[in-house]
Structure 1
Protein backbone atom coordinates (compact mmCIF):
# COMPACT_ATOMS: atom_id res chain seq x y z
CA UNK A 1 0.00 0.00 0.00
CA UNK A 2 1.27 3.49 -0.85
CA UNK A 3 1.70 5.50 2.35
CA UNK A 4 4.22 8.28 1.65
CA UNK A 5 1.79 11.07 0.90
CA UNK A 6 0.94 14.28 2.71
CA UNK A 7 -2.22 14.06 4.81
CA UNK A 8 -3.93 16.90 2.97
CA UNK A 9 -3.24 15.33 -0.40
CA UNK A 10 -4.48 11.94 0.81
CA UNK A 11 -7.73 13.50 2.01
CA UNK A 12 -8.22 15.31 -1.30
CA UNK A 13 -7.68 12.13 -3.32
CA UNK A 14 -10.07 10.20 -1.08
CA UNK A 15 -12.68 12.88 -1.73
CA UNK A 16 -12.19 12.38 -5.47
CA UNK A 17 -12.65 8.62 -5.05
CA UNK A 18 -15.96 9.19 -3.26
CA UNK A 19 -17.21 11.70 -5.84
CA UNK A 20 -16.25 9.48 -8.77
CA UNK A 21 -17.82 6.39 -7.23
CA UNK A 22 -21.05 8.27 -6.61
CA UNK A 23 -21.20 9.17 -10.30
CA UNK A 24 -21.11 5.52 -11.43
CA UNK A 25 -22.88 3.87 -8.50
CA UNK A 26 -19.90 2.15 -6.85
CA UNK A 27 -19.22 1.71 -3.14
CA UNK A 28 -15.98 3.49 -2.12
CA UNK A 29 -15.89 2.04 1.40
CA UNK A 30 -12.43 0.74 2.26
CA UNK A 31 -10.80 2.25 -0.84
CA UNK A 32 -7.08 1.42 -0.70
CA UNK A 33 -4.34 3.49 -2.31
CA UNK A 34 -2.10 0.89 -3.96
CA UNK A 35 0.13 3.08 -6.12
CA UNK A 36 0.91 6.74 -6.63
CA UNK A 37 3.64 7.65 -9.08
CA UNK A 38 2.13 9.40 -12.10
CA UNK A 39 -1.47 8.42 -11.31
CA UNK A 40 -3.10 7.64 -7.99
CA UNK A 41 -4.45 4.09 -8.17
CA UNK A 42 -7.07 2.84 -5.73
CA UNK A 43 -8.52 -0.60 -5.15
CA UNK A 44 -12.23 -0.76 -4.29
CA UNK A 45 -12.42 -4.04 -2.32
CA UNK A 46 -16.22 -4.25 -2.24
CA UNK A 47 -16.51 -3.81 -5.99
CA UNK A 48 -13.42 -5.68 -7.29
CA UNK A 49 -12.65 -2.55 -9.26
CA UNK A 50 -9.50 -0.46 -9.64
CA UNK A 51 -9.85 3.30 -9.96
CA UNK A 52 -7.12 5.49 -11.50
CA UNK A 53 -6.93 9.23 -10.86
CA UNK A 54 -4.94 11.70 -12.94
CA UNK A 55 -4.87 15.45 -12.48
CA UNK A 56 -4.33 18.59 -14.51
CA UNK A 57 -4.24 19.09 -18.28
CA UNK A 58 -2.04 16.02 -18.84
CA UNK A 59 -4.55 13.93 -16.91
CA UNK A 60 -7.42 15.13 -19.08
CA UNK A 61 -5.69 14.22 -22.33
CA UNK A 62 -4.38 10.95 -20.93
CA UNK A 63 -7.81 9.91 -19.66
CA UNK A 64 -9.29 9.95 -23.14
CA UNK A 65 -6.09 8.45 -24.49
CA UNK A 66 -6.23 5.32 -22.32
CA UNK A 67 -9.95 4.81 -22.92
CA UNK A 68 -9.48 5.02 -26.69
CA UNK A 69 -6.57 2.58 -26.64
CA UNK A 70 -8.22 0.15 -24.19
CA UNK A 71 -11.39 -0.13 -26.27
CA UNK A 72 -9.48 -0.51 -29.54
CA UNK A 73 -7.18 -3.21 -28.14
CA UNK A 74 -10.01 -5.05 -26.37
CA UNK A 75 -11.92 -5.28 -29.67
CA UNK A 76 -8.86 -7.02 -31.15
CA UNK A 77 -8.51 -9.48 -28.26
CA UNK A 78 -5.15 -8.13 -27.13
CA UNK A 79 -4.35 -9.21 -23.54
CA UNK A 80 -4.89 -5.96 -21.65
CA UNK A 81 -6.71 -4.80 -18.54
CA UNK A 82 -10.43 -4.28 -19.12
CA UNK A 83 -12.38 -1.08 -18.58
CA UNK A 84 -15.53 -1.15 -16.50
CA UNK A 85 -18.67 -0.75 -18.59
CA UNK A 86 -19.36 2.88 -17.72
CA UNK A 87 -19.20 6.33 -19.24
CA UNK A 88 -15.46 7.03 -19.17
CA UNK A 89 -13.30 8.93 -18.52
CA UNK A 90 -14.93 11.01 -15.81
CA UNK A 91 -13.97 14.59 -14.99
CA UNK A 92 -14.33 15.14 -11.25
CA UNK A 93 -14.03 18.38 -9.28
CA UNK A 94 -12.82 20.20 -12.34
CA UNK A 95 -9.18 19.10 -12.30
CA UNK A 96 -9.25 15.31 -11.93
CA UNK A 97 -9.75 12.59 -14.55
CA UNK A 98 -10.88 9.16 -13.39
CA UNK A 99 -11.07 5.77 -15.09
CA UNK A 100 -12.41 2.46 -13.72
CA UNK A 101 -11.01 -1.01 -14.44
CA UNK A 102 -11.93 -4.57 -13.54
CA UNK A 103 -9.60 -5.76 -10.79
CA UNK A 104 -7.14 -8.50 -11.72
CA UNK A 105 -4.50 -10.35 -9.75
CA UNK A 106 -1.28 -8.52 -8.96
CA UNK A 107 1.87 -10.63 -8.70
CA UNK A 108 5.52 -9.95 -7.96
CA UNK A 109 7.09 -13.15 -9.32
CA UNK A 110 6.93 -12.36 -13.03
CA UNK A 111 9.25 -14.08 -15.48
CA UNK A 112 10.71 -12.31 -18.49
CA UNK A 113 8.53 -14.41 -20.80
CA UNK A 114 5.42 -13.08 -19.02
CA UNK A 115 6.32 -9.62 -20.28
CA UNK A 116 7.62 -10.63 -23.70
CA UNK A 117 4.53 -12.62 -24.68
CA UNK A 118 1.84 -9.90 -24.59
CA UNK A 119 4.32 -7.43 -26.09
CA UNK A 120 4.92 -9.67 -29.08
CA UNK A 121 1.15 -10.02 -29.54
CA UNK A 122 0.81 -6.24 -29.42
CA UNK A 123 3.63 -5.66 -31.89
CA UNK A 124 2.16 -8.00 -34.52
CA UNK A 125 -1.14 -6.12 -34.79
CA UNK A 126 -1.95 -5.01 -38.32
CA UNK A 127 -3.01 -1.39 -38.79
CA UNK A 128 -5.55 -0.13 -41.30
CA UNK A 129 -5.15 3.38 -42.75
CA UNK A 130 -8.08 4.52 -40.59
CA UNK A 131 -6.24 3.40 -37.45
CA UNK A 132 -3.55 6.00 -38.02
CA UNK A 133 -6.24 8.65 -37.66
CA UNK A 134 -8.22 7.02 -34.86
CA UNK A 135 -5.33 6.09 -32.58
CA UNK A 136 -2.97 8.42 -30.72
CA UNK A 137 0.65 8.69 -31.74
CA UNK A 138 3.43 8.03 -29.23
CA UNK A 139 4.56 11.51 -28.24
CA UNK A 140 6.64 11.73 -25.06
CA UNK A 141 7.83 15.20 -26.04
CA UNK A 142 4.50 17.02 -25.74
CA UNK A 143 3.76 15.20 -22.51
CA UNK A 144 7.13 16.17 -21.06
CA UNK A 145 6.58 19.83 -21.89
CA UNK A 146 3.16 19.73 -20.22
CA UNK A 147 4.65 18.18 -17.10
CA UNK A 148 7.49 20.69 -16.99
CA UNK A 149 4.95 23.49 -17.30
CA UNK A 150 3.06 22.12 -14.28
CA UNK A 151 6.05 21.06 -12.19
CA UNK A 152 6.12 21.80 -8.46
CA UNK A 153 8.24 24.96 -8.39
CA UNK A 154 8.59 24.55 -4.65
CA UNK A 155 10.61 21.37 -5.29
CA UNK A 156 12.14 21.67 -8.77
CA UNK A 157 14.78 24.40 -9.08
CA UNK A 158 14.38 26.70 -12.06
CA UNK A 159 17.86 25.76 -13.32
CA UNK A 160 16.88 22.07 -13.26
CA UNK A 161 13.64 22.81 -15.10
CA UNK A 162 15.55 24.72 -17.80
CA UNK A 163 18.07 21.92 -18.12
CA UNK A 164 15.35 19.30 -18.51
CA UNK A 165 13.63 21.41 -21.15
CA UNK A 166 16.87 21.67 -23.10
CA UNK A 167 17.49 17.93 -22.82
CA UNK A 168 14.01 17.19 -24.12
CA UNK A 169 14.56 19.54 -27.08
CA UNK A 170 17.78 17.72 -27.94
CA UNK A 171 16.16 14.31 -27.54
CA UNK A 172 13.31 15.25 -29.84
CA UNK A 173 15.69 16.60 -32.47
CA UNK A 174 17.63 13.34 -32.39
CA UNK A 175 14.48 11.28 -32.66
CA UNK A 176 13.05 13.29 -35.55
CA UNK A 177 16.24 12.73 -37.53
CA UNK A 178 15.77 8.94 -37.45
CA UNK A 179 12.00 8.64 -37.02
CA UNK A 180 11.23 7.73 -40.63
CA UNK A 181 13.73 4.86 -40.53
CA UNK A 182 12.08 3.08 -37.60
CA UNK A 183 9.54 0.26 -37.98
CA UNK A 184 6.31 1.38 -36.34
CA UNK A 185 3.21 -0.26 -34.95
CA UNK A 186 1.12 -0.29 -31.80
CA UNK A 187 3.32 -0.02 -28.72
CA UNK A 188 2.60 -0.08 -25.00
CA UNK A 189 5.07 2.71 -24.27
CA UNK A 190 5.86 1.72 -20.66
CA UNK A 191 6.20 -2.06 -20.53
CA UNK A 192 7.66 -3.45 -17.32
CA UNK A 193 6.59 -6.06 -14.81
CA UNK A 194 4.85 -3.45 -12.67
CA UNK A 195 2.40 -3.07 -15.55
CA UNK A 196 1.45 -6.74 -15.71
CA UNK A 197 -1.67 -8.35 -14.24
CA UNK A 198 -3.15 -11.84 -14.41
CA UNK A 199 -6.67 -13.01 -15.21
CA UNK A 200 -8.36 -15.88 -13.38
CA UNK A 201 -7.55 -18.22 -16.27
CA UNK A 202 -3.83 -17.45 -15.95
CA UNK A 203 -3.61 -15.10 -18.93
CA UNK A 204 -1.03 -12.36 -18.39
CA UNK A 205 -2.22 -8.92 -19.50
CA UNK A 206 -0.74 -5.45 -19.84
CA UNK A 207 -2.15 -2.50 -17.92
CA UNK A 208 -1.40 1.24 -17.72
CA UNK A 209 -1.90 2.40 -21.30
CA UNK A 210 -0.97 6.05 -20.71
CA UNK A 211 2.00 5.90 -23.10
CA UNK A 212 0.45 3.54 -25.65
CA UNK A 213 -0.21 4.38 -29.28
CA UNK A 214 1.38 4.14 -32.69
CA UNK A 215 5.13 4.47 -32.33
CA UNK A 216 8.54 2.91 -32.88
CA UNK A 217 8.41 -0.79 -32.00
CA UNK A 218 11.98 -0.69 -30.74
CA UNK A 219 11.00 1.67 -27.94
CA UNK A 220 9.00 -1.04 -26.17
CA UNK A 221 12.24 -2.97 -25.64
CA UNK A 222 14.06 0.01 -24.14
CA UNK A 223 12.55 0.01 -20.60
CA UNK A 224 14.00 -3.42 -19.85
CA UNK A 225 17.37 -2.55 -21.35
CA UNK A 226 17.58 0.63 -19.27
CA UNK A 227 16.36 -1.31 -16.24
CA UNK A 228 19.25 -3.76 -16.62
CA UNK A 229 21.58 -0.96 -15.51
CA UNK A 230 19.45 1.44 -13.52
CA UNK A 231 17.59 -1.21 -11.49
CA UNK A 232 20.17 -4.01 -11.44
CA UNK A 233 18.09 -6.34 -13.60
CA UNK A 234 20.77 -7.70 -15.93
CA UNK A 235 19.76 -11.34 -15.52
CA UNK A 236 16.11 -10.51 -16.15
CA UNK A 237 17.08 -8.55 -19.25
CA UNK A 238 19.08 -11.46 -20.67
CA UNK A 239 16.00 -13.65 -20.24
CA UNK A 240 13.81 -10.96 -21.83
CA UNK A 241 16.08 -10.75 -24.89
CA UNK A 242 15.85 -14.52 -25.27
CA UNK A 243 12.06 -14.55 -24.84
CA UNK A 244 11.37 -11.62 -27.18
CA UNK A 245 14.12 -12.43 -29.66
CA UNK A 246 15.85 -9.08 -29.97
CA UNK A 247 18.34 -6.91 -28.07
CA UNK A 248 17.55 -3.23 -28.63
CA UNK A 249 21.05 -2.27 -27.49
CA UNK A 250 22.29 -3.56 -30.86
CA UNK A 251 20.04 -1.06 -32.66
CA UNK A 252 21.73 2.14 -33.93
CA UNK A 253 18.91 4.19 -32.37
CA UNK A 254 19.55 2.79 -28.89
CA UNK A 255 21.37 5.92 -27.61
CA UNK A 256 18.47 8.14 -28.67
CA UNK A 257 15.71 5.91 -27.33
CA UNK A 258 17.49 5.17 -24.05
CA UNK A 259 17.96 8.89 -23.45
CA UNK A 260 14.25 9.46 -23.99
CA UNK A 261 13.44 6.67 -21.53
CA UNK A 262 15.63 8.09 -18.79
CA UNK A 263 14.23 11.57 -19.30
CA UNK A 264 10.70 10.18 -19.03
CA UNK A 265 11.57 8.49 -15.74
CA UNK A 266 12.73 11.83 -14.35
CA UNK A 267 10.02 14.06 -15.83
CA UNK A 268 6.93 11.89 -15.25
CA UNK A 269 6.58 12.67 -11.54
CA UNK A 270 7.20 16.44 -11.67
CA UNK A 271 3.63 17.48 -10.84
CA UNK A 272 2.78 16.97 -7.16
CA UNK A 273 6.30 16.24 -5.88
CA UNK A 274 5.73 18.50 -2.88
CA UNK A 275 3.19 16.09 -1.40
CA UNK A 276 5.36 12.97 -1.78
CA UNK A 277 8.73 13.35 -0.02
CA UNK A 278 10.08 9.88 -0.81
CA UNK A 279 9.26 10.27 -4.50
CA UNK A 280 10.83 13.73 -4.44
CA UNK A 281 14.04 12.37 -2.91
CA UNK A 282 14.36 9.64 -5.53
CA UNK A 283 13.56 12.15 -8.27
CA UNK A 284 16.39 14.39 -7.04
CA UNK A 285 18.80 11.43 -7.13
CA UNK A 286 17.79 10.48 -10.67
CA UNK A 287 18.07 14.05 -11.89
CA UNK A 288 21.51 14.47 -10.33
CA UNK A 289 22.83 11.35 -12.08
CA UNK A 290 21.52 12.58 -15.43
CA UNK A 291 22.95 16.05 -14.98
CA UNK A 292 26.39 14.64 -14.18
CA UNK A 293 26.31 11.99 -16.92
CA UNK A 294 26.45 9.07 -14.46
CA UNK A 295 24.57 6.47 -16.50
CA UNK A 296 25.85 3.51 -14.48
CA UNK A 297 24.50 4.72 -11.12
CA UNK A 298 21.53 2.62 -9.91
CA UNK A 299 18.12 4.07 -9.20
CA UNK A 300 15.41 2.91 -6.82
CA UNK A 301 11.78 2.52 -7.78
CA UNK A 302 9.40 5.35 -6.98
CA UNK A 303 7.28 4.32 -3.99
Structure 2
Protein backbone atom coordinates (compact mmCIF):
# COMPACT_ATOMS: atom_id res chain seq x y z
CA UNK A 1 0.00 0.00 0.00
CA UNK A 2 1.40 3.39 -1.01
CA UNK A 3 2.08 5.77 1.88
CA UNK A 4 0.16 9.05 1.79
CA UNK A 5 -0.18 11.94 4.25
CA UNK A 6 -3.46 11.96 6.08
CA UNK A 7 -6.22 14.38 5.16
CA UNK A 8 -5.91 17.53 7.21
CA UNK A 9 -2.13 17.45 7.52
CA UNK A 10 -0.61 20.83 6.71
CA UNK A 11 2.44 20.71 4.37
CA UNK A 12 5.48 22.46 5.86
CA UNK A 13 8.14 21.65 3.27
CA UNK A 14 8.18 19.66 0.06
CA UNK A 15 10.66 16.85 -0.45
CA UNK A 16 14.31 17.83 -0.58
CA UNK A 17 16.86 15.34 -1.85
CA UNK A 18 16.27 11.79 -2.93
CA UNK A 19 15.05 10.46 0.43
CA UNK A 20 12.94 13.26 1.96
CA UNK A 21 9.38 13.08 0.59
CA UNK A 22 8.08 15.97 2.68
CA UNK A 23 7.21 17.35 6.11
CA UNK A 24 3.70 17.97 7.51
CA UNK A 25 2.06 19.30 10.68
CA UNK A 26 -0.82 17.24 12.07
CA UNK A 27 -3.93 18.83 13.60
CA UNK A 28 -2.67 17.59 16.98
CA UNK A 29 0.56 19.61 16.59
CA UNK A 30 2.99 16.83 15.69
CA UNK A 31 5.48 17.18 12.85
CA UNK A 32 5.67 14.23 10.47
CA UNK A 33 8.61 13.64 8.13
CA UNK A 34 8.48 10.94 5.46
CA UNK A 35 11.67 9.33 4.16
CA UNK A 36 12.13 6.76 1.41
CA UNK A 37 15.16 4.52 0.74
CA UNK A 38 18.25 6.18 -0.67
CA UNK A 39 21.94 5.91 0.21
CA UNK A 40 22.33 2.72 2.25
CA UNK A 41 25.90 3.15 3.58
CA UNK A 42 25.52 3.78 7.34
CA UNK A 43 28.62 6.01 7.44
CA UNK A 44 27.75 8.13 4.38
CA UNK A 45 26.53 11.65 5.11
CA UNK A 46 23.27 11.00 3.21
CA UNK A 47 22.41 7.62 4.80
CA UNK A 48 18.62 7.58 4.53
CA UNK A 49 17.92 5.68 7.77
CA UNK A 50 19.99 7.99 10.02
CA UNK A 51 17.24 10.45 10.93
CA UNK A 52 14.65 7.83 11.91
CA UNK A 53 17.27 5.80 13.78
CA UNK A 54 18.36 8.91 15.70
CA UNK A 55 14.78 9.86 16.54
CA UNK A 56 14.03 6.30 17.64
CA UNK A 57 17.15 6.14 19.83
CA UNK A 58 16.37 9.43 21.62
CA UNK A 59 20.15 9.76 21.89
CA UNK A 60 20.13 13.56 21.59
CA UNK A 61 16.90 14.57 23.31
CA UNK A 62 18.74 15.74 26.45
CA UNK A 63 22.23 16.72 25.29
CA UNK A 64 23.60 20.11 26.39
CA UNK A 65 23.81 22.96 23.92
CA UNK A 66 22.04 21.26 21.03
CA UNK A 67 19.37 18.61 21.11
CA UNK A 68 16.83 16.93 18.90
CA UNK A 69 13.04 17.34 19.11
CA UNK A 70 11.09 14.91 21.28
CA UNK A 71 10.14 11.83 19.27
CA UNK A 72 6.61 10.44 19.54
CA UNK A 73 7.21 7.42 17.30
CA UNK A 74 8.92 6.10 14.18
CA UNK A 75 6.97 3.93 11.78
CA UNK A 76 8.85 1.63 9.40
CA UNK A 77 7.30 0.02 6.35
CA UNK A 78 8.40 -1.50 3.05
CA UNK A 79 8.40 1.92 1.39
CA UNK A 80 10.42 3.86 3.97
CA UNK A 81 10.07 5.43 7.41
CA UNK A 82 7.84 8.05 8.99
CA UNK A 83 9.11 10.14 11.92
CA UNK A 84 6.70 11.81 14.35
CA UNK A 85 8.27 14.52 16.52
CA UNK A 86 7.21 17.48 18.60
CA UNK A 87 6.90 20.70 16.65
CA UNK A 88 9.86 23.06 17.03
CA UNK A 89 8.63 26.64 16.92
CA UNK A 90 11.19 29.25 15.85
CA UNK A 91 12.13 31.27 18.90
CA UNK A 92 11.55 35.00 18.76
CA UNK A 93 13.74 35.60 21.78
CA UNK A 94 15.90 33.67 24.22
CA UNK A 95 17.37 34.07 27.65
CA UNK A 96 20.52 36.13 27.60
CA UNK A 97 23.66 34.10 27.00
CA UNK A 98 27.22 34.95 28.10
CA UNK A 99 28.03 35.86 24.49
CA UNK A 100 25.24 38.41 24.37
CA UNK A 101 26.83 40.82 26.85
CA UNK A 102 23.63 41.15 28.83
CA UNK A 103 21.31 41.62 25.88
CA UNK A 104 18.72 39.03 24.93
CA UNK A 105 19.65 37.37 21.63
CA UNK A 106 17.13 36.67 18.91
CA UNK A 107 16.39 33.29 17.39
CA UNK A 108 19.19 33.48 14.86
CA UNK A 109 21.79 35.23 17.01
CA UNK A 110 25.07 33.78 15.70
CA UNK A 111 26.88 34.22 19.02
CA UNK A 112 24.15 32.37 20.90
CA UNK A 113 24.35 29.58 18.32
CA UNK A 114 28.14 29.41 18.60
CA UNK A 115 27.93 28.97 22.38
CA UNK A 116 25.36 26.21 21.90
CA UNK A 117 27.56 24.43 19.36
CA UNK A 118 30.51 24.62 21.74
CA UNK A 119 28.50 23.07 24.56
CA UNK A 120 27.23 20.29 22.28
CA UNK A 121 30.76 19.52 21.11
CA UNK A 122 31.76 18.90 24.74
CA UNK A 123 28.87 16.49 25.34
CA UNK A 124 29.59 12.83 25.99
CA UNK A 125 27.76 11.11 23.12
CA UNK A 126 28.58 7.53 22.12
CA UNK A 127 29.16 7.07 18.42
CA UNK A 128 26.41 4.91 16.90
CA UNK A 129 27.22 2.50 14.09
CA UNK A 130 25.07 4.63 11.76
CA UNK A 131 26.67 8.02 12.60
CA UNK A 132 28.11 10.00 9.69
CA UNK A 133 31.86 9.94 9.15
CA UNK A 134 34.11 11.57 6.55
CA UNK A 135 31.44 14.02 5.36
CA UNK A 136 33.95 16.40 3.80
CA UNK A 137 35.94 13.53 2.23
CA UNK A 138 32.76 12.13 0.64
CA UNK A 139 31.75 15.55 -0.66
CA UNK A 140 35.18 16.25 -2.15
CA UNK A 141 35.12 12.86 -3.85
CA UNK A 142 31.84 13.91 -5.47
CA UNK A 143 33.40 17.21 -6.54
CA UNK A 144 36.37 15.36 -8.04
CA UNK A 145 33.98 13.17 -10.01
CA UNK A 146 32.45 16.34 -11.47
CA UNK A 147 35.82 17.69 -12.56
CA UNK A 148 36.98 19.63 -9.50
CA UNK A 149 36.92 23.40 -9.06
CA UNK A 150 38.27 24.41 -12.48
CA UNK A 151 35.13 26.30 -13.47
CA UNK A 152 35.90 28.84 -10.74
CA UNK A 153 39.22 29.97 -12.28
CA UNK A 154 37.89 32.75 -14.54
CA UNK A 155 35.61 34.03 -11.77
CA UNK A 156 38.31 34.62 -9.15
CA UNK A 157 40.92 37.36 -8.70
CA UNK A 158 44.45 36.13 -9.37
CA UNK A 159 45.58 35.92 -5.73
CA UNK A 160 42.53 33.93 -4.62
CA UNK A 161 42.70 31.77 -7.76
CA UNK A 162 46.18 30.58 -6.81
CA UNK A 163 45.10 29.81 -3.24
CA UNK A 164 42.08 27.83 -4.45
CA UNK A 165 44.27 25.84 -6.84
CA UNK A 166 46.69 25.06 -4.01
CA UNK A 167 43.87 23.92 -1.74
CA UNK A 168 42.58 21.55 -4.41
CA UNK A 169 46.03 20.04 -4.96
CA UNK A 170 46.59 19.53 -1.23
CA UNK A 171 43.08 18.36 -0.38
CA UNK A 172 44.28 14.92 0.76
CA UNK A 173 46.73 16.57 3.16
CA UNK A 174 43.93 18.80 4.48
CA UNK A 175 41.69 15.78 5.03
CA UNK A 176 44.52 14.04 6.87
CA UNK A 177 44.91 17.14 9.05
CA UNK A 178 41.21 16.98 9.89
CA UNK A 179 41.49 13.27 10.63
CA UNK A 180 44.13 14.05 13.26
CA UNK A 181 41.85 16.44 15.17
CA UNK A 182 39.69 15.29 18.09
CA UNK A 183 36.28 13.97 17.03
CA UNK A 184 33.24 15.52 18.69
CA UNK A 185 29.43 15.26 18.43
CA UNK A 186 28.35 17.16 15.34
CA UNK A 187 24.99 18.18 13.88
CA UNK A 188 26.51 18.17 10.41
CA UNK A 189 24.46 20.99 8.84
CA UNK A 190 24.63 23.72 11.47
CA UNK A 191 23.07 26.79 9.90
CA UNK A 192 20.43 29.04 11.49
CA UNK A 193 17.62 27.47 9.44
CA UNK A 194 18.21 24.20 11.27
CA UNK A 195 19.01 25.70 14.69
CA UNK A 196 15.60 27.18 15.29
CA UNK A 197 14.16 26.33 18.70
CA UNK A 198 15.15 27.46 22.19
CA UNK A 199 14.89 25.99 25.65
CA UNK A 200 16.84 28.17 28.06
CA UNK A 201 20.49 28.06 27.02
CA UNK A 202 19.92 25.15 24.63
CA UNK A 203 19.00 25.04 20.95
CA UNK A 204 16.44 22.60 19.57
CA UNK A 205 17.74 21.62 16.15
CA UNK A 206 16.06 19.89 13.22
CA UNK A 207 17.31 17.95 10.18
CA UNK A 208 19.95 15.69 11.75
CA UNK A 209 20.69 13.82 8.53
CA UNK A 210 24.46 14.29 8.86
CA UNK A 211 24.79 13.70 12.62
CA UNK A 212 27.91 11.88 13.78
CA UNK A 213 31.31 12.41 15.33
CA UNK A 214 33.37 14.77 13.18
CA UNK A 215 36.58 16.79 13.53
CA UNK A 216 36.29 19.46 16.18
CA UNK A 217 35.19 22.78 14.65
CA UNK A 218 33.13 21.16 11.89
CA UNK A 219 29.80 22.66 12.99
CA UNK A 220 31.41 26.05 13.58
CA UNK A 221 32.76 25.93 10.02
CA UNK A 222 29.23 25.49 8.66
CA UNK A 223 27.93 28.31 10.85
CA UNK A 224 30.64 30.64 9.48
CA UNK A 225 29.25 30.10 5.98
CA UNK A 226 25.74 31.14 6.98
CA UNK A 227 26.32 34.28 9.09
CA UNK A 228 28.15 37.56 8.70
CA UNK A 229 30.25 37.66 11.86
CA UNK A 230 34.04 37.27 11.87
CA UNK A 231 35.52 33.91 12.81
CA UNK A 232 37.27 35.46 15.84
CA UNK A 233 33.91 36.57 17.29
CA UNK A 234 32.30 33.19 16.72
CA UNK A 235 35.29 31.36 18.16
CA UNK A 236 35.24 33.55 21.28
CA UNK A 237 31.56 32.72 21.76
CA UNK A 238 32.21 29.01 21.13
CA UNK A 239 34.83 29.09 23.89
CA UNK A 240 32.17 30.31 26.34
CA UNK A 241 30.88 26.74 26.36
CA UNK A 242 33.29 26.38 29.27
CA UNK A 243 31.08 28.70 31.31
CA UNK A 244 28.27 26.52 32.74
CA UNK A 245 24.73 27.97 32.59
CA UNK A 246 22.36 28.25 35.53
CA UNK A 247 24.92 27.39 38.21
CA UNK A 248 25.79 23.95 36.87
CA UNK A 249 29.17 22.40 37.70
CA UNK A 250 32.23 23.33 35.69
CA UNK A 251 32.83 20.97 32.74
CA UNK A 252 35.62 18.46 33.27
CA UNK A 253 37.04 18.93 29.77
CA UNK A 254 38.09 22.57 29.85
CA UNK A 255 38.50 24.30 26.49
CA UNK A 256 42.22 25.04 26.63
CA UNK A 257 44.21 27.15 24.20
CA UNK A 258 45.28 23.95 22.44
CA UNK A 259 41.66 22.85 22.14
CA UNK A 260 40.67 26.21 20.65
CA UNK A 261 43.60 26.03 18.24
CA UNK A 262 42.21 22.69 17.01
CA UNK A 263 38.64 24.06 16.84
CA UNK A 264 39.81 26.99 14.74
CA UNK A 265 41.73 24.78 12.35
CA UNK A 266 38.81 22.39 11.97
CA UNK A 267 36.40 25.25 11.37
CA UNK A 268 38.66 27.00 8.85
CA UNK A 269 39.34 23.89 6.77
CA UNK A 270 35.69 22.82 6.84
CA UNK A 271 34.44 26.28 5.88
CA UNK A 272 37.04 26.82 3.14
CA UNK A 273 36.58 23.52 1.33
CA UNK A 274 32.80 23.70 1.67
CA UNK A 275 32.56 27.32 0.47
CA UNK A 276 34.73 26.67 -2.58
CA UNK A 277 32.85 23.49 -3.48
CA UNK A 278 29.50 25.27 -3.17
CA UNK A 279 30.68 28.14 -5.37
CA UNK A 280 32.00 25.76 -8.04
CA UNK A 281 28.74 23.80 -7.99
CA UNK A 282 26.65 26.98 -8.18
CA UNK A 283 28.20 27.91 -11.52
CA UNK A 284 26.52 24.86 -13.05
CA UNK A 285 23.07 25.90 -11.83
CA UNK A 286 20.43 28.06 -13.56
CA UNK A 287 20.24 30.18 -10.40
CA UNK A 288 23.73 30.26 -8.84
CA UNK A 289 22.64 32.30 -5.82
CA UNK A 290 25.26 34.11 -3.73
CA UNK A 291 27.78 31.29 -3.26
CA UNK A 292 30.46 32.99 -5.35
CA UNK A 293 29.94 36.32 -3.57
CA UNK A 294 30.25 34.61 -0.19
CA UNK A 295 33.43 32.87 -1.33
CA UNK A 296 34.98 36.21 -2.25
CA UNK A 297 33.86 37.61 1.11
CA UNK A 298 35.71 34.75 2.84
CA UNK A 299 39.00 35.26 0.99
CA UNK A 300 40.99 35.78 4.22
CA UNK A 301 39.64 32.56 5.68
CA UNK A 302 40.44 30.73 2.42
CA UNK A 303 44.02 32.02 2.64
CA UNK A 304 44.23 30.89 6.29
CA UNK A 305 43.11 27.40 5.26
CA UNK A 306 46.03 27.22 2.88
CA UNK A 307 48.60 28.13 5.52
CA UNK A 308 49.11 28.23 9.24
CA UNK A 309 46.08 29.21 11.33
CA UNK A 310 46.08 32.66 12.88
CA UNK A 311 47.20 32.53 16.48
For residue 42 of structure 1, what is the aligned residue in structure 2? 23
- For residues 64 and 47 of structure 1, the distance between their equivalents in structure 2, rounded to whole angstroms, comes to 26
2:95 aligned residue: none
Counterparts in 2 of 1:250 and 1:143: CA distance versus 1, 3 Å: closer
Q: Is the 8 A contact 1:48 1:103 kept in 2?
A: yes
Post-superposition offset of 1:170: 5.4
Task: Supply the distance in 1 between the matched residues of 2:144 and 2:78 (Cα, whole angstroms).
Answer: 22
Q: For residue 281 of structure 1, what is the aligned residue in structure 2? A: 287
Counterpart of 1:66 in structure 2 is 51
Q: Is the 8 A contact 1:28 1:44 kept in 2?
A: no
Aligned to 1:126: 124
Distance in structure 2 (CA, Å) of the matches to 1:126 and 1:202: 18
* Aligned position for 1:256: 269
Q: Which runs of 5+ in 1 are unaligned?
A: 1-15, 22-26, 150-160, 274-278, 298-303
* Cα distance, 1:196–1:289 mapped onto 2, change above 3 Å: closer
Matched, 1:80 2:68: yes
CA distance in 1, matches of 2:276, 2:39: 17
Indicate whether 1:57 and 2:49 are aligned: no
More helix by share: 1
Partner of 1:141: 137
Q: Please give the TM-score of this superposition, normalised by the length of structure 1.
A: 0.59
Q: 2:110·2:229 contact (CA, 8 Å) conserved in 1?
A: no
Mean Cα deviation higher: 28-37 or 100-109:
28-37
Encode CA deviations 1:96-123: one digit per residue, 9 max, x unaligned. Answer: 6653322121246422354234323321
Name the residue aligned to 2:85: 101
Within the alignment, does 1:241 sit opposite 2:235 as a pair? Answer: yes
Question: 2:100 maps to what in 1?
Answer: none
Q: Which residue is equivalent to 2:176?
A: 177
Answer with 62-71 or 32-41: which moved more: 32-41
Partners of 1:132 and 1:81 in 2: CA distance: 18
Q: Deviations over 1:204-243 (max 9, x none)?
A: 3122111210111211111222334xxxx227x6654343
Structure 2: where are the runs of 5+ without partners?
93-105, 152-164, 241-259, 300-311
* Distance change (3 Å), C-alpha of 1:86 and 1:173: same
- Cα deviation, 1:275-294, whole Å, max 9, x if unaligned, reads xxxx85135x63x669xx74
Is the Cα contact below 8 Å between 2:74 and 2:82 reproduced in 1? no
Q: How far apart are the structure 2 equivalents of 1:165 and 1:227?
A: 24
CA root-mean-square deviation: 4.6
- 2:75, 2:83 within 8 Å by CA — same for their partners in 1? no
Farther off after superposition, 68-77 or 116-125 = 68-77
Evaluate the alpha carbon distance shift between residue 296 and residue 182 of structure 1 in structure 2; reply closer, same or farther with a 3 A threshold.
closer
Larger Rg: 2
Q: How many residues align?
A: 243
User: Distance between the aligned counterparts of 2:211 and 2:54, measured in 1?
Assistant: 7
CA contact (8 A) 1:66 1:210 kept: yes
TM-score of the two chains, using structure 2 as the length reference: 0.58
* 2: CA distance, partners of 1:201 / 1:254: 26
